[in-house]
Structure 1
Amino acid sequence: MESNKDFHKIIQKNSEYIAKLHTIVRGTIDEEEVLMDKLIHPSKEILTKGQKVSDKVARFGGSWSFIILFAVILISWIIYNSMVPSKDQFDPFPFILMNLILSCIAAIQAPVIMMSQNRQEEKDRMRNENDYMINLKAELEIRSLHQKMDVLLEEQIKGLYETQEAQFQLIKTLNHKIDLLEKSIQSKKDGHA
């Protein structure tokens, strides 16, 4: 009877170890889901009107649409002012008005694009910081899991030693009972002989 209780205790301890492992794994999975949710659904960036305009100008100014449109306008400007009679030309050769407009566009467009690039650099810096924090968190999680696994393994090894000790005691008890049984059988044989 006592041996059944010992075996039930051993089975119960092993079940507790498995339950602890499941708890650790579930906790880690829950933490990962929270982290993944934050990565998949980041908080919205609040932009001012000026920032929105600078982004649109930078996006359009750095596109093929802008280059093609600008080339069409410049070629049309040059062709018109070269082909029409002198009195109808609004910007005769050497196209001083066109050069002035191009200079003004470049002077206005450059700082606007730089503002957009500066914001993009800030976004990249924040993204890099987030990546670093994610990597650091993952490293700490792995370290924590290793520590938890070490504790569980130590407990399990201790449980195995206790199980072996209980088994050894059971074997000792069985050997003692077998010895007593053999002695009793031997004494009965000696008594009959």
Structure 2
Amino acid sequence: MTSPHRANPKTTQTCCICNKPFTLRHLRSVDHLRPSILAMLEEQEGALPEHAMICEGDLSKIRRKHVEQLLQDERGELSALDRRVLNDLSMDVSTAATVDPEVDQPTTIGVRAADAVAAFGGSWTFIILFASVLAIWMAINVVGVFKQPFDPYPFILLNLVLSCVAAMQAPIIMMSQKRQEEKDRLRSENDYMINLRAELEIRQLHEKIDHQMAQQWQRLAELQQIQIDLLESEASKK
């Protein structure tokens, strides 16, 4: 592997993976990577030079591969939702932002009409209104408001009307329920992906904290050793 060299010592340096020059703000030192990611990187690329730098693009790829490997070890084969979360995580994109538009996507006139009919058909307004129509219908034909009732007892025409209403209302309500089930499914998938994203980020955060604590303890031990050496040097002079 080609060792990194400085294209411009003040502003740029070469990535040890792609060998392309980048400004220092777009590079990370491999010395600051977590041990698990560094081990995977060295397994993939071989031994890295001391104080080597890696660009953000290659670092995102190796991080995604690392997280994907962790999920595969725990869950086996990854689902489409798992891969979508990994893609959002590697691109640093909000998972909720990519799913919410699907839940609230525009619907057709027929779907909106089905939702409106289902909402009205399941309300007390519909029950009271429909009961009133039935009562008026039967009263007109029983009391004899007209000289010749248009639907005398046993109300055959009314039965036909009710059958037609039920036959039309049932599939419309089923259409609305199907749409609601689709929304519930998308929201359930959204919750799953957000929870998985949170789990992965918390795990990475724990690894970062553990790595930083290990580095701090190492630096503290080095400082203490330097102090001990200084004290021993002063003591030997006396």
| TM-score calculated relative to the size of structure 2 | 0.57
Cα deviations across residues 76-104 of structure 1 (Å, max 9, x unaligned)? 11111111156331111101111100000
* Structure 1 residue 38, shift from structure 2 partner: 3.2
Answering whether residue 75 of structure 2 is matched by residue 42 of structure 1, we say: no
The answer for unaligned runs of 5 or more in structure 1 is 1-19, 21-30, 180-193
5 Å-filtered alignment, 1:1-193, equals 35=94, 38=97, 42-43=100-101, 44-84=104-144, 87-177=147-237, 179=238
Higher helix share: 1
Count of aligned positions:
146
**Which residue identity lines up with residue 174 of structure 2 in the other structure?**
M
CA–CA separation in structure 2 for the residues paired with 1:146 and 1:93? 78
Distance 1:83 1:35 in 2: 68
Q: Tell me the residue number matched to 2:84.
A: none
- Fraction of identical pairs, as percent: 52
Instruction: Tell me the CA shift for residue 37 of structure 1.
Output: 7.3
How far off its partner does 1:36 sit? 8.9
Judged with a 3 Å threshold, the aligned counterparts in structure 2 of structure 1 residues 59 and 85 are, in CA distance, closer, same or farther, namely: closer
Instruction: Show the counterpart of 2:24.
Output: none
- Structure with bigger strand share is 2
In the alignment, which residue of structure 2 is the partner of 1:189? none
| Unpaired runs of at least 5, structure 2 | 1-31, 33-88
Q: What SS class does the counterpart of residue 106 from structure 2 fall into?
A: coil
Distance in 2 between the 1:62 and 1:124 partners?
Answer: 19
The structure with higher relative contact order (CA 8 Å, sep 6+) is 1
